[in-house]
């Protein structure tokens, strides 16, 4: 018989922006039987419990996942990888293990090594903010967001359906794909923007060291283009180090285009500049984001 979300004890490991926002949606909506939050730091455990974001909070992984029907791993990628090596013996047979990590190939490979009987599914909600931690969490974060789902060959249809139910329950839209395809696509739309934003901030910082007025003059264009550079560095190091080849490919595509723009500008080749900039203008204007405005 299909297990339903409302009958499930859900244990969320990691109460940062992503994990805590999920807990808040589950608790407020009464979407499942019990919401448990597991965090490393005691003050996060206390804050999660007393804010009402979870029914039960602990910093003991063993206690937290005991008897859980769904375990959601919501930490940086390499912490997920090391947890997947340890967590197996603590889980009940049939337990759905889903993660919220930003890269999927290495995580899904580690999921393959979970004990027989455990039901792993890779996941990655495509939303976020440049602010991190429990204090940045908010209900409704996932409303309208695409949520990548990467099942394994061993994942049962029932468990995949339960994962879909969880995603739909918080208002997100599941998109099914392989881990490798996921990693290739997010290299372009998430990891490359992060590196570009960081390089932009670097250039402005350089100039600002000579003329600090640049920071007073900077407005909406710089604000938006550089926003993701303020993201948690630790989280992004994990992402970059577990998706190096795909990121290098995308970075090379961007570098090559910037070099062409540079050459056209240096030569005063307005026709070539116009051709390249118009193509990007048309493509970007035609695109409509699926997330909240």
Residues 176-215 contacting a copy of itself, CB under 8 A? 177, 181, 184-186, 188-190, 192-207, 211, 213-215
62 vs 135, which CB is nearer to a copy of itself? 135
Q: How many CA atoms lie within 13 A of 35 on its CB side?
A: 24
Alpha-helical regions (H) of the chain: 17-28, 42-50, 61-65, 77-86, 105-112, 157-169, 179-186, 192-210, 213-217, 220-226, 233-241, 244-267, 270-286
Residues 165, 4 contacting (CB under 8 angstroms): yes
59 vs 173, which CB is nearer to a copy of itself? 173
42 vs 135, which CB is nearer to a copy of itself? 135
What minimum distance in Å lies between the beta carbon of 265 and a copy of itself? 6
7 vs 209, which CB is nearer to a copy of itself? 209
**88 scored as a contact of a copy of itself (CB under 8 A):** no
Q: Which of 111, 109, 129 is nearest to 73 (CA)?
A: 111
Which residues from 116-145 bind a copy of itself, rule CB under 8 A?
126-130, 145
**175 scored as a contact of a copy of itself (CB under 8 A):** yes
**273 scored as a contact of a copy of itself (CB under 8 A):** yes
**242 scored as a contact of a copy of itself (CB under 8 A):** no
Would you give the distance in Å from CA 192 to the centre of its chain?
14
Residues 132, 16 contacting (CB under 8 angstroms): yes
How far apart are alpha carbons 99 and 125 in whole angstroms? 10
32 vs 108, which CB is nearer to a copy of itself? 108
What minimum distance in Å lies between the beta carbon of 160 and a copy of itself? 19
What minimum distance in Å lies between the beta carbon of 155 and a copy of itself? 20
**259 scored as a contact of a copy of itself (CB under 8 A):** yes
CA distances from 153 to 71, 122, 179 (A): 19, 12, 12
């Amino acid at each position: 018989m299909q297990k339903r979300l409302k009958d499930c004890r859900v244990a969320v490991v990691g109460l940062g922006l992503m994990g805590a926002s999920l807990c808040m949606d589950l608790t407020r909506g009464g979407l499942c039987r019990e919401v448990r939050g597991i965090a490393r730091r005691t003050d996060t455990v206390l804050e999660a419990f007393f804010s009402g974001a979870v029914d039960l909070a602990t910093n003991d992984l063993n206690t937290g996942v005991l008897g859980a029907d769904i375990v959601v791993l919501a930490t940086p990628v390499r912490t997920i990888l090391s947890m997947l090596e340890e967590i197996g013996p603590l889980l009940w047979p049939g337990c759905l293990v889903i993660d919220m990590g930003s890269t999927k190939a290495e995580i899904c490979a580690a999921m393959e090594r979970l004990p027989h009987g455990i039901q792993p599914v890779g996941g990655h909600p495509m939303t976020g903010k440049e602010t991190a931690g429990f204090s940045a969490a908010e209900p409704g974060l996932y409303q309208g967001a695409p949520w990548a789902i990467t099942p394994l060959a061993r994942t049962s249809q029932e468990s995949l359906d339960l994962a879909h139910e969880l995603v739909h329950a918080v208002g997100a839209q599941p998109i099914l794909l392989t881990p490798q395809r996921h990693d290739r696509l997010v290299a372009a739309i998430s990891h490359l923007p992060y590196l570009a934003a960081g390089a932009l901030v670097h250039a402005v910082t350089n100039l600002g060291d000579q003329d600090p007025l640049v920071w007073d003059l900077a407005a909406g264009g710089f604000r938006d283009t550089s926003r993701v550079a303020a993201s948690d560095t630790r989280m992004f190091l994990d992402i970059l180090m577990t998706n190096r080849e795909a990121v290098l490919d995308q970075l090379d595509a961007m570098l090559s285009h910037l070099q062409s723009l540079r050459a056209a500008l240096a030569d005063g080749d307005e026709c070539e500049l116009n051709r390249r900039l118009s193509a990007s203008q048309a493509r970007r204007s035609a695109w409509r984001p699926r997330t909240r405005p």
